[in-house]
Amino acid sequence: MIDKPYSPRSSKLHEWVTTADHKKLGVMYIVCGIIYLIVAGCEALMIRWQLAVPENDVLSAETYNAFFTMHGTTMIFLVGMPILLGAANYFIPLMIGARDMAFPRLNAFGFWLFFFGGLLLYFSFLGGQGLSGEEGAPDVGWFAYAPLTSTTFSPGSSTDYWIISLFVAGMGSIMTAINLVTTILTMRCKGMTLMKMPIFAWMMLVDAILILIALPTLTAIQIMLLLDRQFGAHFFDAQAGADPLIWQHLFWFFGHPEVYILILPGFAFVSEVTPVFSRKVLFGYPLMVIATISIGFIALGVWAHHMFATGLSPTVLAYFSGATFLIGVPTGMKIFNWIATLWGGQIRFATPMLFAVGFIAMFTIGGLTGIMLAVVPMDWQLSDTYFVVGHFHFVLFGGLLFAIFSGFFYWFPKVTGKMLNETLGKWQFWFLFAGFLLTFGPMHFSGFEGMPRRIYTYMPNRGLEFYNMLSSIGAVVQIFGFGLFVVNVLHSLRKGKPAGDDPWDAWTLEWSTTSPPPPWNFATIPSIASRRPLWDTKHPDDPDWKYE
Amino acid sequence: MTSQPNSIAVPKMLPHGHVGMMSVITTEIFFFATLIVVYLAYLGKSISGPTPEELLSIGLASINTVALLASSVTIILALKALRASNQKKFLTWLLVTVALGAWFLVGTAIEWTGLVGDAHFTLQTNLFGSTFYTLVGFHAFHVTFGVCALSFIWFCGFMGWVQKKHHQNIEYVSWYWHFVDTVWIAVFLVVYVIGR
Amino acid sequence: MASKKKIQVAVPAPTAWPLVAALGMALTFTGFLTTWPIGLVGFILCMVGFVGWFKDCYPGDREVELEVLPHHIPAEVTTSRTLDTNHPLHRAKLPLKIHRAPSGIIGGIAGGIAMIVVAVLGSFILHGSPWHPFNLTAATLMQSMAELDLNTFHPTALFVALGIQLVASVCIGLVYGVALPLMPKHPILLGALIMPFIWSFLLYAAMRTINPELDDTVNWWWFLVAQVIFGLVAGFVVSKGEHIHTLQFKAFAERAGVEKNR
């Protein structure tokens, strides 16, 4: 059934909220993600302000709890997830030569579920108070361990808002994952066999499958928790014979794959950026695919390494420690593949490349501290200290966020038709890099000195002041980095240099259409013969398909 | 384009609905797996009674099981009739499927009325109550959803809106229905056979 | 493509129903926490949204046809780069040359022996006994060493220490064998000085936390000298070893050893 074209009277806002176009939805995901990034960043700044000196009283203990909970929850569910889903949404159809996602309306549904889920989470600042007169936002930590979440210890409705907002947003993620799997498996253009897909599509495919497997577990236990809190069930009530550790097991069965759900898109961005700016083909493509799939499998079997300190049996400890070491192998393979891609290439240190190299270095450090934590006795010593905080910020900030910025600088010209300012971008990188190291490096040391995470203050003369002050100074340095980013985006949107269709001389299909792409992506559906279709077009005398 | 080889492989790809429904079923499997794992983990952990042995009767549940399993067969027959363009037979078998699904729901309702009314056994009674009502309840919710969807399809078929060309879409719905059946077999085994 | 006829492409029609359904679903759950009317409104909205959505898809997907305008047509895909396809290294895979595996093992063993000599020398100067470094090395594995005198001869300790030294030297030698030809320049500088400095510092920094007791008995300056000597000797031996081409330009049959060409 064919409708009339857009009526000229319809407004821009109307056009955006009613869209079923994967590109507009992708942009909305990413814009929401960046707004929440700023919000959650401000929460983190408050945390660092409170911890800058011992016995500080900027935040009360209760507000501090709410802030670190909201910081973690927001960063994972409202920053990481939407940015990765948005990027997948925008670029998967473009990269595999399709006109839209498989289910465009389901795509819109998924986005709006995420959108309203996010609003519900932040509504808790106001709404949490409504019913029982208790303080606002959720304050039970982002993994909300039982029995802290029972009505006895967490009265009011803030925890309920945590449950339903993540429940609604999680359903949205599942819808989008269904869409991504279907799109990648059924809508590839002519010639694009699975082993000729851009590595981006492979990583997003594994990512979406992990979402399909991991998120329903979270949904199920959140329903149980809601039943406990609202309808008097006993799922996590130790007095009725229940085992609160069940929550930890099931939460981490979701939570650990979630970490890989977040980092795999980071791998995907870097795997696209690195070859283009080294002028070399990605080293070891088949190995990269195998590594991605094995990460997907192993990620489902390592969850209890978050629980080494809960008194598991030695057999269980040995298994989960071993499995955690094992996951280092495919991850290490990837790191070596990226380094081998860089090696001997004609490297251009444009901003996307700076961030990509920053990612490789910082993620390696985060990965190595992860291996340290996989050693059971080491984990007993360091569990729930700032060492762990330092470790996962190296993975998620130095890893994921750097990869996101790398991808953002790389694809911004495609999405908007304007280049971002390179000078500002480089300044942003160095501010962020320095600020990042200054903030999260010392956390490893304060963790070694025994500073537990999630405490709102600490005593003087325990050897913690220096490290905490360093971390807080680092947070201030980061403000400049993020500030430059916002300035750069706003400035470039208006006055940026026109990008042209293919500003980086790249090789995947999205660069063969206009910037920004037309609503239908490709007027003629392309057909490809190798993993670098644009290389074949640009160098007809030496095409890749002869060698693959 | 001159830069391409003479023949380009056209990858064989499945229809959207096929992969989409398989993804839905994958995610649902893990949802129910979580509920079942929790049920098993808490089996016999309740501090106070009643226990599954005292409350659950295998008789009623068996009749329900037969109804639901039969509905899986009838939906296959309905689909077969649709593919043969036999509209009347399609509608009849579909109606039988809906009726069997409704029978299952009524059976569950009778069981629950007995449990809540006579035995005063609710979600709040003990750990067994929490896990039992959640597991069986979520399955029943999925059956309800399936019955609604199938009734809707029946209505559309009655109005003449469903034709042979839609057979693939109806087949995807039937997969969902088979999935709900399979989950019931697991739930039945866990709750009524192993759990007692 | 260049015809003057207007070209139109169909894309999915804009629709608000998924938005309505999502809002309804969010409100339904909010109803659990606030008051039931909100939940009811949400549920109704949700149903309305799904019905509207269904109408978007039945009897066929609603689409709009958009016109292809000049600015929608991409420029031709070109590049300013030119390739020298005749260059012998075109499409070469790095590295071009590698060391044979045995050269790494030999280098490692040579470095290990040199390191023992330096360590024993140091032990004589500092402790007046050659056995101190052996006992100390063995102590990293054997807890019982903590009670013994580090300057006397213990046969077990000697055996264990030599074993550790052999395994570690061969492993690092193998790494050198793989890694040194990959370095752009000055392989000996990197292998002999930079790497030993880095791992000595890491060990120095970590040992304070991991095993403070062991930390106290180690003379770190002498330790560093021993490591550097290891790196120098191992690096030298490895880089003097035979350089061979990788088989990347050979045909598969040749690589598999089925066929031989000269």
> What's the pLDDT band for A74 if we cut at 50, 70, 90?
very high
pLDDT of residue C141: 79
Q: Which one is predicted more confidently, A252 or A541?
A: A252
For the cut 60, the answer to whether the pLDDT of residue A47 exceeds it is: yes
Interface size, chain A vs chain C, as Cβ–Cβ contacts under 8 Å? 153
For the cut 60, the answer to whether the pLDDT of residue A132 exceeds it is: no
Asked if B23 and A177 come within 8 Å (Cβ–Cβ), the reply is: yes
Residue B24 located in a structural domain: yes
Average pLDDT, chain A: 92
For the cut 90, the answer to whether the pLDDT of residue A91 exceeds it is: yes
Q: Across the interface, which of B19, B31, B131 has its CB nearest the CB of A182?
A: B19
pLDDT of residue A398: 93
> What's the pLDDT band for B118 if we cut at 50, 70, 90?
confident
- Of all residues in chain B, the percent with pLDDT exceeding 70 is 98
For the cut 60, the answer to whether the pLDDT of residue A9 exceeds it is: no
**Contact between residue A185 and residue B19 where contact means Cβ atoms under 8 Å apart:** yes
Q: Which one is predicted more confidently, C247 or A353?
A: A353
For residues C235-261, one letter each, b for 16 or more C-beta atoms within 10 angstroms of the residue's C-beta and e for the rest, the string is: bbbbbebeeeeeeeeeeeeeeeeeeee
Q: Which one is predicted more confidently, C82 or A24?
A: A24
* Closest alpha carbon within chain C to A537: C77
Residue B1 located in a structural domain: no
Least confident of A410-414, A438-442, A522-526, C2-6: C2-6
**Host H or E run for residue A175:** helix A158-186
What is the pTM assigned to this prediction?
A: 0.90
pLDDT in tens, B59-80: 889 999 999 999 999 999 999 9
- Contact map slice: A 232-261 vs B, CB within 8 A: 232-235, 237, 239-243, 246, 250, 253
Pairing of strands C8-12, A2-3: unpaired
Residue B6 located in a structural domain: no
> What's the pLDDT band for A254 if we cut at 50, 70, 90?
very high
Averaged pLDDT for residues C134-141 = 85
Min Cα distance A266 → chain B (Å) is 23
**Whole-angstrom distance, CA of residue C45 vs CA of residue C42:** 5
Asked if A105 and C53 come within 8 Å (Cβ–Cβ), the reply is: yes
What was the ipTM of the complex prediction? 0.94
- Contact map slice: A 91-120 vs C, CB within 8 A: 99-100, 104-106, 108-109, 112-113, 115-117, 119-120
> What's the pLDDT band for A491 if we cut at 50, 70, 90?
very high
For the cut 60, the answer to whether the pLDDT of residue A511 exceeds it is: yes
Asked if A501 and C75 come within 8 Å (Cβ–Cβ), the reply is: yes
pLDDT of residue C22: 96
**Whole-angstrom distance, CA of residue B23 vs CA of residue A208:** 10
Domains of chain A: 18-546 (1.20.210.10)
Residue B49 located in a structural domain: no
Residue B52 located in a structural domain: no
Asked if A21 and C61 come within 8 Å (Cβ–Cβ), the reply is: no
Asked if B26 and A212 come within 8 Å (Cβ–Cβ), the reply is: yes
Cβ contacts (< 8 Å) between C78 and chain A: which residues? 538
- Of all residues in chain A, the percent with pLDDT exceeding 90 is 82
For the cut 90, the answer to whether the pLDDT of residue A272 exceeds it is: yes
Residue B5 located in a structural domain: no
Interface size, chain A vs chain B, as Cβ–Cβ contacts under 8 Å? 145
pLDDT in tens, A211-226: 999 999 999 999 999 9
pLDDT of residue A97: 93
Min Cα distance A378 → chain C (Å) is 9
pLDDT of residue A267: 96
**Whole-angstrom distance, CA of residue B50 vs CA of residue B126:** 8
pLDDT of residue C6: 67
**Whole-angstrom distance, CA of residue A523 vs CA of residue A513:** 9
- SS3 annotation, chain B: CCCCCCCCCCCCCCCHHHHHHHHHHHHHHHHHHHHHHHHHHCCCCCCCCCCHHHHCCHHHHHHHHHHHHHHHHHHHHHHHHHHCCCHHHHHHHHHHHHHHHHHHHHHHHHHHHHHHHHCCCCCCCCHHHHHHHHHHHHHHHHHHHHHHHHHHHHHHHHCCCCCHHHHHHHHHHHHHHHHHHHHHHHHHHHHHHHCC
Asked if A523 and C13 come within 8 Å (Cβ–Cβ), the reply is: no
> What's the pLDDT band for B1 if we cut at 50, 70, 90?
very low
**Host H or E run for residue C244:** strand C243-245
> What's the pLDDT band for A7 if we cut at 50, 70, 90?
low
Q: Which one is predicted more confidently, C236 or C192?
A: C236
For the cut 90, the answer to whether the pLDDT of residue C154 exceeds it is: no
* CATH code: domain of residue B143: 1.20.120.80
Angle subtended at Cα A414 by Cα A413 and Cα A417, rounded to the nearest 5 degrees: 60
Asked if A168 and C26 come within 8 Å (Cβ–Cβ), the reply is: yes
pLDDT of residue C1: 41
pLDDT in tens, B130-166: 999 999 999 999 999 999 999 999 999 998 888 888 8
**Whole-angstrom distance, CA of residue A3 vs CA of residue C12:** 10
Averaged pLDDT for residues A160-177 = 94
Q: Which one is predicted more confidently, C94 or A475?
A: A475
Averaged pLDDT for residues C91-119 = 87
Number of domains in chain B: 1
Residue B7 located in a structural domain: no
**Whole-angstrom distance, CA of residue A517 vs CA of residue B143:** 44
Averaged pLDDT for residues A394-416 = 96
- Of all residues in chain C, the percent with pLDDT exceeding 70 is 95
Averaged pLDDT for residues A514-519 = 91
For C240, residues 6+ apart whose C-beta sits below 8 A from its C-beta are none
Question: Which of A85, A2, A100 shows the shortest CA–CA distance to A521?
Answer: A100
**Whole-angstrom distance, CA of residue B191 vs CA of residue A480:** 59
- Contact map slice: A 499-538 vs C, CB within 8 A: 500-502, 505, 511-514, 518-520, 523-524, 534, 537-538
pLDDT of residue A547: 80
Domains of chain C: 8-72 (1.10.287), 97-245 (no CATH)
Least confident of A256-265, A303-312, B7-16: B7-16
Question: Where in the sequence is the domain holding B164, given as residue range(s)?
Answer: 17-41+60-194
- Of all residues in chain C, the percent with pLDDT exceeding 90 is 29
pLDDT of residue A1: 47
pLDDT in tens, A434-464: 999 999 999 999 998 889 999 999 999 988 9
Averaged pLDDT for residues C46-53 = 94
**Helices (H) then strands (E): counts for chain A:** 17, 1
> What's the pLDDT band for B6 if we cut at 50, 70, 90?
confident
- Cα-only R_g, chain C: 36
